[in-house]
């Protein structure tokens, strides 16, 4: 078999320290050349909808990372991706749980009911143009007993997670139904991310897709 030549591509920055977003990007056959986590204020604005909040935070993360990119000459001509994932019940935005009490409140609220996850992606091109996409998923958890909630809380898996759960982890057993993008719930909607990159001429096909 003739070896397939490597596909030349511009550098790619992921504006996060999240291992799950990096793993999703790698699942799509792409590797980040640099990680530039953005430290911004993620407090929701008064009356801000979950959709608007997700888009705004992803955009602000991208803008903050772009400032860091400007200080790195080797990343001058790179593409930059930032994302934000929001768990919401109605118009209520659930926090990225940092305390056991916050996590317990989130799980009790999600128990036996439907909620939505909004995952926004912001792409900043080498020329500084921004493109944005939003993915949405509807999920329903089974009714959770106090024993199940306590068992999940004891894992610590909820810490720092929107809505106090990681669907790709042990909380997956709570899921009764999902309509929409699974990767959006994990943290990086791959269809929307790859569409943005492809729309700007970035080679998104993984090498094994291109092999004869």
Which domains are delineated in the chain?
12-210 (3.90.950.10)
Which of 26, 54, 29, 30 lies closest to 42 in space, CA to CA? 54
The dihedral over CA atoms of 116, 58, 187, 42, expressed in degrees to the nearest 10, equals: -70
User: Which residue matches tokens 């810490």?
Assistant: 159
Which of 176, 189, 47 lies closest to 110 in space, CA to CA? 176
pLDDT tens per residue across span 41-88:
999 999 999 999 999 999 999 999 999 999 999 998 999 999 999 999
The answer on pLDDT for 5 being more than 50 is no
**CA–CA separation, 124 vs 82, rounded Å?**
9
pLDDT tens per residue across span 98-121:
999 999 999 999 999 999 999 999
**CA–CA separation, 31 vs 71, rounded Å?**
21
**CA–CA separation, 25 vs 196, rounded Å?**
13
pLDDT tens per residue across span 162-199:
999 999 999 999 999 999 999 999 999 999 999 999 99
Which DSSP string do the residues of 134-166 spell out, in sequence order? Answer: EEEEEEEEPPPPHHHHHHHHHHTTTTT-BTT--
* Cβ partners under 8 Å of residue 183, min gap 6: 24, 189, 190, 191
**CA–CA separation, 43 vs 37, rounded Å?**
17
Please provide the size of the chain in residues: 212
Q: Is 15 exposed, middle or buried (0-12, 13-18, 19+ CB in 10 A)?
A: buried
- The set of catalytic residues is 84
Cβ–Cβ under 8 Å, residues 69 and 93: no
Indicate the pLDDT class of residue 18, thresholds 50, 70 and 90: confident
Indicate the pLDDT class of residue 19, thresholds 50, 70 and 90: confident
pLDDT tens per residue across span 122-159:
999 999 999 999 999 999 999 999 999 999 999 999 99
What are the distances in angstroms from CA 74 to CA 7, 35, 78, 151?
Answer: 20, 13, 9, 47
Q: What six digits make up the tokens of 84?
A: 């934000």
């Amino acid at each position: 078999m003739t070896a397939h030549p490597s596909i030349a591509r511009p550098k790619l920055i992921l504006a996060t320290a999240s291992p799950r977003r990096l793993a999703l990007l790698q699942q799509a056959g792409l590797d980040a050349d640099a990680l530039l986590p953005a430290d911004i204020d993620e407090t929701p604005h008064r009356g801000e909808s979950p959709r608007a909040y997700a888009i705004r935070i992803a955009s602000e993360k991208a803008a903050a990372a772009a400032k860091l990119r400007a200080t790195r000459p080797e990343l001058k001509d790179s593409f930059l991706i930032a994302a934000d994932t929001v768990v919401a019940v109605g118009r209520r935005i659930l926090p990225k749980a940092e305390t056991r009490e916050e996590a317990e409140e989130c799980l009790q609220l999600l128990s036996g009911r439907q909620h939505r996850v909004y995952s926004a992606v912001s792409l900043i091109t080498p020329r500084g143009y921004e493109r944005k996409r939003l993915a949405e998923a509807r999920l329903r958890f089974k009714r959770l007993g106090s024993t199940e909630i306590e068992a999940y809380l004891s894992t610590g898996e909820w810490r720092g997670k929107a809505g106090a759960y990681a669907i790709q982890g042990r909380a997956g057993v709570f899921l009764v139904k999902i309509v929409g993008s699974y990767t959006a719930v994990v943290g990086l909607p791959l269809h929307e991310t790859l569409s943005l990159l492809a729309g700007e001429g970035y080679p998104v096909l993984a090498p094994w897709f291109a092999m004869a």
